[in-house]
């Protein structure tokens, strides 16, 4: 029996630290740095990855964009503002009709359009630097027109952003079908815009912006021709405003890196923000830069113990998204019920539960607890899968319309994961090897 | 190697043992604890310029590592997976029996109590800091610490030595 006659917990932990140190071999700071550099985006979707990876591999930054001496820097940078449908609509006023957020309708035209083909001319990436934050793919539609914006932040690697800016603009400038259509310079930011024509005569318009450690690309296809010069400048300004807004970014590291599986389909932060629209929630958008999100006050361990696999990630600054797969739909339903019971019985913060129908015909269980330790949970069980989102509670419970939208979001992520599993990607790691202690 | 990387290396070397110990106290597996700790440092590097402005950058890493460890423990699947993935089976020295007893006892506690004990006694956070992280009143943290310590006593066959030390 260990000698704990004089039980000093600090001393016990000190001994534990010494003991573990003697057993442990530190992989080294170099390995940690290398891992950080190697890490690929898992949250930013494939288009962003393709664009950044392709241009990241360019061997020589030729800097083909010359700052015309006639272009004077603007006096001050535009105010930070997210690039949402309203901002894009305002910027394109008089050129296009109003834009709406999109889940990717028309994306195919953008992905396979002349801008993407132009980037394809660049050599493959060898080991591009890794952004620490990104917007993900922001799609918008306006009638037949489609738009896609991607913003990335290289964190403390401002030089990497400078290089990337040079490489992107060099590549596009070098494409035979690209024409420089606009250029703006602020004190600390710059933008260029291009018109890229396709063999079929269609023209795509692309804006590239850079400020500090950030790079943004926005392109629009199937819009009326030509782009009025004031609109060209207004879109560039809106893109710089978005680059300067912290709300534009989610933490690539936390969303992809904290997930227990790199291939699991997660919940879009921008999609979640849209789902919460109209409700004053306590959820904070943006990256987990200073502190990781706090853990729930409730112990909800038992419900997932029978799962085959699971994955999760932070959602914004203080949210959590998790996803578990069970051996059968019945087991998943039982687990979802047990989770609801754990929340209902939570001694720290008892949750009130009710169910809301989603537009997809499923149900989302909403669990709300008030108070300092209160949280809001949305739980969806679909087939053998259970997914949930947890955020801190606010002064008012979420309206059912918000819960239905969040339920739809969770359902879509579950569906995406089921599809990727069927394609053999495997959403998560096995949970069967070690049973939770208790 | 640039200055930043040199500073980061020095920071890593100075804080590794405490970080891996925090993770180990939760997971009970050295391999998993190393993996969690290394992941925390991998996340720290892209933010290094910001972390250097903190009073104690090590606290950030320990918090990330502890949270990661708890999250993985919750899913109950980490230790063997990481051991099997990260390294071939090896006959590493066994932990000291006191360490085994402490970790075993910790793992029998409710998660909130275990989290509070590890964050306070090992990661070095004050009660106030833990309350801020956990979004709960300080009294709740003190109660968790008190109940956790009381629960450890019979498990470790000892007598607790008073109030929280870092508050």
pLDDT in tens, A73-132: 555 788 888 898 999 999 999 899 999 887 666 665 666 677 877 776 554 444 455 677
Instruction: Say if A326 falls within a structural domain.
Output: yes
pLDDT at A266: 64
A367 and A265, same structural domain? yes
Which member of B63, B121, B153 has the closest CB to residue A13? B121
CA distance A204 to A198: 8
The verdict on A224 and A160 lying in the same domain is yes
Q: Which residues pair with B30 in a beta bridge?
A: none
Judged by a CB distance cut-off of 8 A, whether residue B130 touches chain A is no
Averaged pLDDT, B47-65: 86
Domain stops at, among A216, A248, A280 = A248
Is B15 a residue whose pLDDT tops 90? yes
| Closest-CA residue of chain B to A312 | B71
Token pair belonging to A133: 């934050």
* pLDDT value at residue A198: 79
Which one, of B74, B5, B64, lies nearest residue A251 by Cα?
B64
- Same structural domain for residues A244 and A257? no
Flag if B81 and A289 touch (Cβ within 8 Å).
no
Give percent of chain A above pLDDT 70. 68
Query: Residues with Cβ < 8 Å from A407, sequence gap 6 or more?
Result: A356, A358, A360, A362, A363, A364, A378, A380
pLDDT digits (tens, 9 = 90+) for B90-145: 344 556 777 888 888 887 787 778 888 888 888 888 888 888 777 678 888 888 88
A11 to chain B: nearest residue by CA? B121
Q: Is the separation of the CB atoms in A187 and A73 below 8 Å?
A: yes
For the residues B28-44, what does the mean pLDDT come to?
Answer: 84
Count of domains observed in chain A: 2
Rounded to a whole number of angstroms, the distance between the first and last alpha carbons of chain B is: 39
Do A89 and A219 lie in one domain? The reply is: yes
Cα separation of A307 and A326, whole Å?
4
Nearest residue to A301 (alpha-carbon basis) of B110, B105, B140, B103: B110
Q: Which of A207, A233, A248 is the last residue of a domain?
A: A248
Contacts of A306 in chain B (CB under 8 A): none
Mean pLDDT per 10-residue segment, chain A (438 residues): 52 84 82 63 37 38 34 68 91 91 67 70 52 76 87 79 80 85 88 87 89 88 89 94 83 38 55 84 66 51 62 70 80 90 82 88 88 83 89 89 90 71 36 24
- Is residue A437 domain-resident? no
Q: What is the pLDDT of residue A191?
A: 93
Of A9, A15, A260, the CB nearest to B96: A15
pLDDT, tens digit, 9 for 90 and up, residues A366-425: 999 876 667 899 999 988 888 899 888 888 899 999 999 899 888 888 877 666 554 433
Structural domain range at position A401: 253-430
Beta strands in A95-222 (DSSP E): 100-102, 133-134, 138-142, 145-153, 178-186, 189-197, 203-211, 214-221
- Residues A299, A179 within the same domain: no
What are chain B's domains? 1-93 (1.10.1740), 94-167 (1.10.10.10)
Q: Do B46 and A132 touch (CB under 8 A)?
A: yes
A221, part of any domain: yes
Q: Flag if A304 and B75 touch (Cβ within 8 Å).
A: yes
CA B112 to mean position of chain CA atoms: 13
Size of interface A-B (CB pairs under 8 A): 225
Q: Model ipTM?
A: 0.76
Q: How far apart are CA A381 and CA A387, in angstroms?
A: 7
Identify whether residues A95 and A172 lie together within a single domain. yes
Q: Has residue A232 been placed in a domain?
A: yes
Mark whether A160 and A179 lie in a shared domain. yes
* Rounded Cα–Cα distance for residues A287 and A246 (Å): 8
Predicted local confidence at residue A301, as pLDDT: 57
Query: Residue B78 and residue A434: Cβ atoms within 8 Å?
Result: yes
| Extended strands (E) in A222-292 | 250-251
Considering only alpha carbons, which residue of chain B is nearest residue A32?
B42
**Chain B positions in Cβ-Cβ contact with residue A295 (cut-off 8 Å):** 67, 70, 115, 133-134
Q: What is the pLDDT of residue A69?
A: 37
- Of the candidates A248, A276, A297, which is a domain's last residue? A248
Contacts of A144 (CB under 8 A, 6+ apart): A106, A222
Q: Does A130 contact B47 at a Cβ distance shorter than 8 Å?
A: no
Contact B43, A253 (CB under 8 A): yes
Residues A258 and A243 occupy one common structural domain: no
Q: In this structure, are A231 and A257 located in the same domain?
A: no
Give one word for A158, left, alpha or beta, with left for phi > 0 and alpha for psi -120 to 50: alpha
Cα A287 versus chain centre, distance = 9
Task: Write down the pLDDT at residue A372.
Answer: 64
Q: With beta carbons less than 8 A apart as the criterion, state whether A61 and A162 touch.
A: no
Do the Cβ atoms of A20 and B20 come within 8 Å?
Answer: yes
A19 and B98 within 8 Å at the Cβ level: the answer is yes
For residue B148, the distance in angstroms to the closest alpha carbon of chain A comes to 11
Residues A307 and A198 in one domain: no
Per DSSP, the three-state class of A43 is coil
CB A39: neighbour CB atoms within 10 A?
A: 19
pLDDT on residue A291: 40
Q: Assess if residue A15 is contained within a domain.
A: no
A196 and A142 in a single domain? The answer is yes
| A152 and A131 Cβ atoms separated by less than 8 Å | yes
Q: Is B77 close to A432, i.e. CB distance below 8 A?
A: yes
Quick one: A279 and A379 in the same domain? yes
If you average pLDDT over every residue of chain A, what do you get?
73
Mention every residue, 6+ apart, whose C-beta is less than 8 A from residue A86.
Answer: none
Disruptive mutation site among B75, B110, B129 for chain A (greatest number of A CBs within 10 Å): B75
A3 falls within a domain: no
Q: How many CA atoms lie within 13 A of A58 on its CB side?
A: 26
């Amino acid at each position: 029996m260990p000698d704990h006659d004089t039980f000093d917990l600090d001393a016990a932990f000190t001994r534990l630290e010494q003991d573990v140190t003697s057993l442990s071999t530190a992989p080294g700071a170099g390995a940690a740095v290398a891992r950080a550099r190697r890490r690929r985006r898992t949250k930013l979707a494939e288009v962003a990855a393709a664009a950044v990876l392709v241009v990241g591999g360019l061997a020589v930054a030729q800097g083909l964009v010359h700052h015309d001496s006639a272009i004077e820097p603007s006096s001050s940078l535009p105010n930070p503002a997210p690039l949402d449908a309203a901002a894009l609509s305002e910027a394109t006023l008089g050129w296009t009709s109003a834009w709406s957020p999109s889940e990717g309708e028309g994306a195919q035209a953008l992905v396979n359009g002349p801008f993407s083909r132009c980037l394809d001319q660049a050599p493959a990436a060898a080991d591009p630097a890794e952004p620490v934050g990104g917007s993900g793919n922001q799609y918008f539609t306006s009638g037949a027109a489609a738009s896609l914006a991607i913003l990335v932040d290289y964190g403390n690697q401002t030089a990497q952003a400078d290089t990337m800016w040079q490489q992107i603009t060099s590549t596009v400038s070098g494409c035979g079908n690209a024409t420089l259509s606009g250029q703006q310079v602020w004190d600390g930011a710059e933008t260029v815009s291009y018109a890229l024509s396709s063999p079929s005569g269609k023209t795509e318009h692309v804006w590239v912006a850079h400020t500090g450690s950030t790079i943004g690309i926005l392109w629009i296809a199937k819009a009326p021709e030509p782009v009025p010069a004031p609109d060209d400048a207004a879109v560039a300004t809106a893109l710089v405003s978005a680059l300067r807004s912290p709300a534009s970014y989610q933490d690539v590291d936390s969303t992809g890196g904290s997930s227990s599986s790199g291939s699991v389909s997660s919940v879009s932060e921008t999609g979640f923000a849209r789902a919460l629209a109209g409700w004053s929630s306590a959820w904070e958008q943006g990256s987990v830069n200073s502190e990781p999100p706090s853990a729930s006050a409730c112990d909800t361990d038992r419900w997932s113990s029978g799962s085959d696999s699971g994955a999760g990630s932070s959602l914004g600054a203080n949210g959590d998204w998790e996803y578990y797969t069970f051996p059968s739909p019945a087991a998943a339903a039982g687990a979802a019920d047990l989770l609801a019971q754990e929340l209902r019985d939570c001694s720290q913060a008892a949750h009130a539960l009710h169910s809301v129908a989603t537009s997809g015909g499923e149900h989302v269980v909403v669990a709300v607890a008030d108070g300092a330790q209160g949280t809001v949970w949305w739980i969806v069980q679909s087939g053998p899968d259970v997914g949930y989102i947890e955020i801190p509670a606010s002064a008012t419970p979420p309206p059912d319309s918000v819960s239905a939208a969040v339920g739809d979001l969770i359902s879509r992520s579950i569906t995406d994961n089921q599809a990727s599993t069927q394609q053999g990607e495997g959403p998560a790691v096995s949970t069967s090897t070690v049973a939770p202690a208790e | 190697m640039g200055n930043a990387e040199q500073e980061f290396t020095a920071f890593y070397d100075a804080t590794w043992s405490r970080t891996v110990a925090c993770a180990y106290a939760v997971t009970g597996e050295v391999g998993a604890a190393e993996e969690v700790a290394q992941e925390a440092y991998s996340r720290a590097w892209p933010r290094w310029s910001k972390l250097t402005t903190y009073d104690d950058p090590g606290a950030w890493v320990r918090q990330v590592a502890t949270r990661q460890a708890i999250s993985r423990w919750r899913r109950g699947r980490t230790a063997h997976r990481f051991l099997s993935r990260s390294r071939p089976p090896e006959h590493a020295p066994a932990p000291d029996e006191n360490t085994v007893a402490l970790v075993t006892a910790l793992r029998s506690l409710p998660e909130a109590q275990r989290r509070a004990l590890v964050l306070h006694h090992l990661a070095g956070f004050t009660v106030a800091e833990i309350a801020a992280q956990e979004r709960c009143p300080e009294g709740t943290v003190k109660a968790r610490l008190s109940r956790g310590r009381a629960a450890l006593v019979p498990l470790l066959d000892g007598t607790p030595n008073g109030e929280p030390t870092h508050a």
